[in-house]
Structure 1
Amino acid sequence: MTTEPQASIRQKLAIYLAQLPPPAVIKLASGLEREKLRGTTGLPYEMILSGLRPLLAGLRGERPGMPDALRQFCNPFEDLLVNGDDDGRSQGAISRSTMVRVWEWLGEELLPDALPDLKERIADHTLKNDQPALEAAVSVLHASAAKAILAAIEEARGNPEKRKQLERRIGGEGGLEDAREIGAILSIAPAMLKLQAELPKPILNFSEEMVTALKHVYDETHEYAPDEAIYLPFMVMRRLAEPSQILRFVRKIAHQRNDMMISRCELAVFGEVLLAEMEDIARRVDTQRPGHSDLEAMLLDIRRFAHLSKGVTAEIDLRRNGEWGQRLLAARGRVSAAVSQEISRFETELVRALPFHQIGQYGRGGPMKPDVAKAPDRARIERMMSCLRFVNGLSTICESVGVQSHSRSIRQQIETYLSSYEDRLLEELRIAKGVARSNAEEFIEVAADFRGALGEDKQAEVLRRRGQVAARG
């Protein structure tokens, strides 16, 4: 017999856990953490908890349960954790897989004697609900881990062979940078935890009071750790429902709204992060082949771009001749060109989905009627439904990506074609017999679904009622 590979088991477990409702996720995680702290054996705790952590991260409010040493270790940087290994990593984003590798590295090499003792003390204090003793043990864990991680990375920088070994262990250059950021954040863990306690999660609106709270902790931390203080606003940015609102803090520090001045201050990285995400979206959208794109994914990207663009321009004054202004205009131009090229083919797709055919001997200028000799082509119908959902989704954001004129024109062409087709289809339904009649009824339903995809539910319902009347006539 062969044992099923762990990767396969983890994948199946992740699929199962993803189907659990939030209360069940919380209850399962809390129970596992409690039993793990008690030392109960026989369960693959880490495998299950690693599958639960991404789900727990997406839940609102304070995380319940009895945190073990690993969770206490991660608390200062938990807001910065992201799923998967980020090959094109950005500052302030730490891979969960790297976090696990760093924890194993601490236990096996950096703190082989101290870490088991600290884990035992943290479990004991947690079970006894001895908060002062627990906080003291966690503080020692953070300080010891920070010192050990940063010292090992500094040593590896001067030794190419050690650096290669460390990169292999932690996950390449990106993993090594993640590990360095973990060490840096743990070195200011008290400040990170203080700010986490003061601010909600998520932050729906970054109020002036919250901006001031961040500035107070940031200024205090900047006095003794100027390089590490940057992770405080990164943590806050991850909590923001509107990431561009972090620029309110940047404005407060820079005492400027002008992007040309802000782009030169020490916190310019936050504008760079937002612009870089918009540029990534622009590249992704621009490389799609018209007619072969995943329109649902593309629309999500465009919505995100529009959201970020609107947010940035609302928070700071972008100058057209400034670097940031130029970059935003260039990214918007790429998105606009890609979207325009994509939607230009939609009318052709509509003609294929709802075809006419020529009648009489008048050539191309002769009368047309809906072709109901064959049933609707389901593949073409699905493609057109995607196109129409895209057009409808684009209607609220087209101005932010510079395609308002083209988008309105395409929608008008589609609606004109639909109106003409529907009227003639109803006429055909009144006189059609047999298979043609059945096909005509199907096309009525297709046309109504198309109206629904455009957000025109009332027109869809009216068409269905007209179709019922025509069928009786």
Structure 2
Amino acid sequence: METKPTAPFIERLNEFLSRLTPGTAAKLAAGLEREKMRGGTGLPYDLILSSIRPLLGKREGQRPGAPSVLRQFCMPFEDLLTDDRSPSPHMPHIRRSSIMPVWAWLETELLPDTLPDIARRLEEKTGGADGIAQKGSLTVLHASSSSAILSAFDESRKDGALRRKMERQLGGENVVEDARTIGRTLAVAPYLLAVRDALPRHIVDFDEGMVATVAELYDEARATSLDSAIYVPLIAVARMHEPWQILRLARKLAGFSNEDAVNRSGLAGLGEIFLGELEEIAEKVQPRRAVPLDLDDLLSKITQFAELSQNFIREIDVRRCSDWGNRILAARARLSTALTEAMAKFELELARALPLHQVGSYGRNGPRRPDISTAPNFERNEKMLACLRFLRGVASAAESIGAQSHCRTVGQQIEAYLSSYEDGLIEDLRRAKGPQLANAQAYLEMVIACRETLGDAGIAATLRRRGQVAVAQAS
């Protein structure tokens, strides 16, 4: 019987285990599972295994040793597991922290009489020569668990008291949500295991062969459970470097690449994943009062939106007047508005960092020249460079959000300002003396940095040479 560890012991144990490499963690897990199957006592097996699961998830290839019953229970949905307590609401996930509460719920409440026997039979078959018997016992475990979980949810929908009892037993709404997902995945466990075996752990290109394999397994799963078959492609998504590639499967199964055909194929949920992400990005970029604008973060989100929307539309023919089309356009409009508001201050930031002052007695419309009476403000300079980095970075994504015209206009305004400022600054370098010369040289370095930030390396190099000549003439 496992002793109950104290809080200080748990803290020290977690600190030690966190230092292990994924390979060492795998060997430790295999040894613990073997010892546990032999009936060993005195070690906090579940605590240790729970602590090293994140490391095991990072390891390539198969884990050594015979898998425990709990590990085999989790195999169908292993790709959906996450250590994040608040995972994305668009892509289905199962929190690792929910596994033990769900397993305990099965042991004590749903299958108290049958689960111990099923587990014992599976333990006896695991690692033995009779692979067919092990597979049969595993199928019984998954099917029995799925049926018990989904039946409990069916009953709870009819009885509020049962629902509240379920939440108490599982430990909260998040675990309840994960329990439902576990039940649904286990309903099509054989097909999820087949997907796991057929696909590489990391998919860079979801090619035609993989698409055909997943399509066949998805069709078979639909014959078993219409509600749960969607998890077959979702396992593939979890392994993809570029998840949007799963839309190739939707296009193949639909027979056509339009939105209506995808909906008829039962794969509308795949489209909803990416539509939800696009809408979430658009929501996150909305200006917030009293929250400083982070241009680097905004650029990252705009780039992400552009890439995702372009690939989505490339794979699926989305009509502008359709539901999906309207949602994409609405998200795009919100993103474009956020970009326009952010860029409204760019020219002002440029003028603050590279100030001008009026010369002569011509009034407000008289000529203006660089103001080199004071040294540059480097805090303003950093803000200006952030604006220019954004302007350059957003150029490739602007068309995807309908903001290319506005970006072009702002770019032209900045180009005109810089060109005029550079000419005036070169003249000042020829005439300035003492502190003002030092200020002018500092401003020259700032303008050169502006050009380099915009990607104008040739202009920057020419400007540096012009500055050197002007200073030489002045001396």
Structure 2 length normalisation: TM-score?
Answer: 0.81
Q: Within 5 Å, which residues of 2 pair with 1:179-258?
A: 179-258=179-258
Deviation at 1:455, TM superposition (A): 2.9
Query: Is the Cα–Cα contact under 8 Å of residues 244 and 311 in structure 1 kept in the other structure?
Result: yes
Alpha carbons of structure 1 residues 41 and 173: separation in structure 2 relative to 1, 3 Å: closer
Deviation at 1:83, TM superposition (A): 4.5
Q: Secondary structure at the match of 1:369?
A: strand
Q: Deviations over 1:44-83 (max 9, x none)?
A: 73564255367x2xx8x54655566554433322322345
Alpha carbons of structure 1 residues 226 and 469: separation in structure 2 relative to 1, 3 Å: same
> Does residue 386 in structure 1 map to residue 389 in structure 2?
no
Mapped to 1, the partners of 2:199 and 2:208 lie a distance apart of 12
Q: Deviations over 1:135-174 (max 9, x none)?
A: 6665555445434433443444444234224324546444
Query: Is the Cα–Cα contact under 8 Å of residues 343 and 410 in structure 2 kept in the other structure?
Result: yes
Partner of 1:37: 33
Partner of 1:52: 55
Mapped to 1, the partners of 2:456 and 2:171 lie a distance apart of 50
Partner of 1:161: 161
RMSD: 4.0
Mapped to 2, the partners of 1:169 and 1:377 lie a distance apart of 61
Query: Is the Cα–Cα contact under 8 Å of residues 110 and 148 in structure 1 kept in the other structure?
Result: yes
Structure 1 length normalisation: TM-score?
Answer: 0.81
Partner of 1:94: 94
Query: Is the Cα–Cα contact under 8 Å of residues 291 and 345 in structure 1 kept in the other structure?
Result: no
Query: Is the Cα–Cα contact under 8 Å of residues 388 and 453 in structure 2 kept in the other structure?
Result: yes
Partner of 1:274: 274
Larger Rg: 2
Q: Deviations over 1:5-52 (max 9, x none)?
A: 989998xx69x96xx9xxx84334334424543659589735642553
Query: Is the Cα–Cα contact under 8 Å of residues 90 and 272 in structure 2 kept in the other structure?
Result: no
Alpha carbons of structure 1 residues 450 and 203: separation in structure 2 relative to 1, 3 Å: same
Mapped to 2, the partners of 1:99 and 1:120 lie a distance apart of 21
In the alignment of these two chains, the number of paired residues is 459
Given residue 402 of structure 1, which amino acid in structure 2 is its aligned partner? Answer: G
Q: Secondary structure at the match of 2:84?
A: coil
Q: Deviations over 1:344-393 (max 9, x none)?
A: 22111111122222333333233333233333323322222222222122
Query: Is the Cα–Cα contact under 8 Å of residues 87 and 93 in structure 2 kept in the other structure?
Result: no
> Does residue 413 in structure 1 map to residue 413 in structure 2?
yes
Q: Within 5 Å, which residues of 2 pair with 1:69-468?
A: 70-86=70-86, 89-90=89-90, 92-99=92-99, 101-103=101-103, 105-106=105-106, 118=119, 139=139, 141-168=141-168, 170=170, 172-288=172-288, 292-468=292-468
Alpha carbons of structure 1 residues 451 and 164: separation in structure 2 relative to 1, 3 Å: farther
Percent of residue pairs bearing the same amino acid type: 41
> Does residue 27 in structure 1 map to residue 23 in structure 2?
yes
Mapped to 1, the partners of 2:48 and 2:129 lie a distance apart of 22
Q: Deviations over 1:232-255 (max 9, x none)?
A: 012223333333332332233332
Given residue 255 of structure 2, which amino acid in structure 1 is its aligned partner? Answer: H
Deviation at 1:304, TM superposition (A): 1.9
Alpha carbons of structure 1 residues 378 and 45: separation in structure 2 relative to 1, 3 Å: farther
Alpha carbons of structure 1 residues 254 and 462: separation in structure 2 relative to 1, 3 Å: same
Given residue 372 of structure 1, which amino acid in structure 2 is its aligned partner? Answer: I
Alpha carbons of structure 1 residues 125 and 5: separation in structure 2 relative to 1, 3 Å: closer
Mapped to 1, the partners of 2:171 and 2:392 lie a distance apart of 43
Q: Any unmatched runs of 5+ in structure 1?
A: none
Query: Is the Cα–Cα contact under 8 Å of residues 359 and 366 in structure 1 kept in the other structure?
Result: yes
Moved more, 197-206 or 162-171: 162-171
Q: Secondary structure at the match of 2:400?
A: coil
Alpha carbons of structure 1 residues 428 and 117: separation in structure 2 relative to 1, 3 Å: farther
Mapped to 2, the partners of 1:366 and 1:129 lie a distance apart of 94
Deviation at 1:192, TM superposition (A): 0.7
Query: Is the Cα–Cα contact under 8 Å of residues 30 and 64 in structure 1 kept in the other structure?
Result: yes
Query: Is the Cα–Cα contact under 8 Å of residues 85 and 98 in structure 1 kept in the other structure?
Result: no
Partner of 2:38: none
Q: Any unmatched runs of 5+ in structure 2?
A: 1-6, 36-41
Query: Is the Cα–Cα contact under 8 Å of residues 69 and 123 in structure 1 kept in the other structure?
Result: no
Given residue 344 of structure 2, which amino acid in structure 1 is its aligned partner? Answer: S
Deviation at 1:181, TM superposition (A): 1.1
